[in-house]
Amino acid sequence: MSDPIDEFSFLPEQADEAGIHAPVPRGERLSLTLADGRTLSALRYSPADSPDAAPVVTFLHGAGLNAHTWDTTILALGLPALAIDLPGHGDSSWRDDAAYLARVLAPDVAAGIDAWTDAPQLLVGQSLGGLTAAAVAASRPDLVHELVVIDITPGLDPNAGAKQIRDFFAGPVDWASRDELVDRALAYGLGGGTRRRAERGVFFNSRIRGDGRVEWKHHFARLANAASASPADAASAAAQQDAVAAVLGESGWEDLAAVAAPTTLLRGARGYVTDEDAAEFARRVPAASVAVVASGHNVQEEIPQELGAGLRAMASGG
């Protein structure tokens, strides 16, 4: 595959694929140095006719993804938006402690929203980003006027639906070319169904090192590879993950209970949230809304037009 001019060169192509005929927004890469020296990175999208407009919607992606997963949703949204690379993903720094937990990530995300927006946001998070968004809304209510959590609830089995992804990322830690990564994605049934979409995803989620080898940008691939190299370590890590998940499930419910902003759980009909999970959410967060859409787990990639239109209505008070 040949590299594009820049990371926003795909936007016209993505708009055309989705049948979105509005002017393509201006994209900009942002970077913030955090207090401990790590970098938080994000993408800001501004309407072509209002390049200085401040974001009104902020997006947080799921584990193993990056801010560009929201591109087509933002095209359909048609409003100034911010998409943050969670720590350990995209162009944001990896954590030395590998603590990619919602409450740990929330202060970094809050720092980015503080720096890059000028008003409370419609905060939208998918999967890990959804739990992180809830932690942000609970700890910094001044930053969030409405919360949308996509296809995740606290306490959800961390292994639900994830074996294919774990196996996919448990391969070599580096590759000779991005084409090898595209071939692997297609072989695992990933990448959006076409080679072109897989190429886009690989470009956004990988980088070329100084030695010419290609590696995934997110830390999870390195962690998955290390676990797969030692079955004993993998079993120990899985047991630890289950124990941590139980504790974090309760902390996640505490965060949601503390959110003052209107909250919506948006679950995919073929996603990870079961009817039982949704019922528990409704019991624990009775003031929240629950909606089901015709999608799998990655709603923002499967039905971006519908998601963008729905979020536009919410942001506009409709």
Q: Integer distance in angstroms from the first to the last C-alpha of the chain?
A: 42
From the candidates 61, 89, 218, 297, which is the catalytic residue? 297
Q: How far is CA 200 from CA 45, 127, 241, in A?
A: 18, 21, 31
Q: How far is CA 303 from CA 205, 216, 291, 296, 317, in A?
A: 20, 25, 14, 9, 22
In angstroms, the CA 99 to CA 243 distance is 14
Helices then strands (H, E): number in the chain? Answer: 12, 10
Please state whether beta strands 121-126 and 26-33 pair in parallel, antiparallel, or not at all (unpaired).
Answer: unpaired
From the candidates 91, 151, 255, 277, which is the catalytic residue? 151
**Phi, psi dihedral angles at 87 (to 5 degrees):** -50, 140
Q: How far is CA 141 from CA 63, 102, 108, 122, 261, in A?
A: 24, 16, 15, 12, 7
Catalytic-residue membership of 151 = yes
State the amino acid at position 231 in one-letter form: P
Catalytic-residue membership of 127 = yes
From the candidates 127, 206, 251, 295, which is the catalytic residue? 127
Could you list the active site residues? 127, 151, 297
